[in-house]
Chains A and B, each alone.
Chain A
Amino acid sequence: MTGAGGIGYALIALGPAFSLFVTVIASKPFLILTVLGSAMMWLVSLIACGLLWRAFLPGAVWVFLPLLITVVAIQEAVRIYYWHLYLKIEDFLNKLATKVSKQQLVATDKIQIAIASGLGHGIAHSVFFCLSLLTPAFGPATYYVDSCVHMPLFLVAAFTALGFLLLHTFSMVIAFNALAGDKRSHQLFVPVMHLCAALLTLVNLLPGGCIAGVPLTLMCAVVTMAVAGKIVWDKTGSGSGDLNSLHRVHSASRL
Chain B
Amino acid sequence: MEKGILEMVGGEIIGIVSPVSICMLLVVLLVHTLTPHGSSTSVATIAMMIYNEQPNDSFVEKFKGGLLNAIVFVCIVMLVTFVLVGLFYFRFTKCLRVYMGFSAFTVLAWMGGIVAVELIQFFSIPIDIITFAICLVNFASVGVMAVFFCRMPIVLTQGYLVVIGMLVAFWFTKLPEWTTWILLVAMAIYDIVAVLAPGGPLNMLVELAIARDEDIPALIYEARPVLPRQISGPPPMSSSPTPARTRRWSNRRAPRNPGVGRGNSGSNSALDNLWTSNGQPTSLITEPPLAPEVGIIGSRLVSSTGDAGMLNSISTVVAGHQATESNVDEDTVPLVSHGTNNSSTAAALDGMESGMHFQGSDQGGSESEDEGLGLGVSGAVKLGLGDFIFYSVLVGRAAMYDLMTVYACYLAIIGGLGATLILLAVWRRALPALPISITLGVVFYFLTRLILDPFVVDLATHLIVF
Q: Which residues of A contact B (CB under 8 A)?
A: 27-33, 36-37, 39-40, 43, 46-47, 49-51, 53-54, 57-58, 61, 64, 68, 71-72, 75, 92-93, 95-97, 99-100, 102-106, 109, 112-113, 124, 127-133, 135, 145, 147-148, 153, 156-157, 160-161, 164, 194, 197-198, 201-202, 204-205, 209-210, 213, 217
Contact = CB atoms under 8 A, between A and B. Distances in A.
A57 B463 contact: no
Q: How large is the interface on B (under 10, 10 to 19, 20 to 34, 35 or more residues)?
A: 35 or more
B317 A46 contact: no
A51 B454 contact: no
Contact of A36 (B415, B464, B465, B466): B415
A33 B418 contact: yes
Given A105-B5, A128-B407, A99 B316 contact: yes
A185 to B, nearest CB: 23
Contacts of A106: 4
B14 interface: yes
Given A36-B411, A128-B404, A133-B460, A68 B466 contact: yes
Interface stretch (B105-113, B203-211, B344-352, B445-453): B445-453
Given A127-B407, A128-B407, A96 B452 contact: no
Nearest to B462: A205
- Which 5 A-B pairs rank lowest in CB-CB distance, beginning with the nearest? A204-B463, A29-B10, A132-B404, A198-B466, A50-B455
Nearest to B305: A100
> Looking at B447, B455, B465, which has the most chain A CB atoms within 10 Å of its CB?
B465
A30 to B, nearest CB: 4
Nearest to B406: A132
Given A47-B447, A54-B451, A99-B316, A30 B465 contact: no
Contact of B8 (A54, A100, A133): A100
B323 interface: no
18 contacts: A29-B13, A30-B9, A36-B415, A43-B411, A47-B452, A50-B456, A57-B459, A58-B454, A68-B464, A92-B317, A93-B5, A97-B4, A102-B5, A104-B5, A106-B4, A153-B463, A197-B466, A201-B464
A129 B455 CA distance: 10
B403 A132 contact: yes
B317 A71 contact: no
A31 B452 contact: no
Contacts of A36: 17, 411, 414-415, 418
Given A54-B451, A93-B5, A201 B465 contact: yes
> Looking at B4, B7, B11, B456, which has the most chain A CB atoms within 10 Å of its CB?
B4
Contacts of A130: 460
Interface string B383-415: 000000000000000000011100110011011
Contacts of B463: 145, 147-148, 153, 156-157, 160, 201, 204-205, 209-210, 213
B314 interface: yes
B313 interface: yes
A53 B13 CA distance: 36
B44 interface: no
Contacts of B464: 64, 68, 198, 201-202, 204-205
B364 interface: no
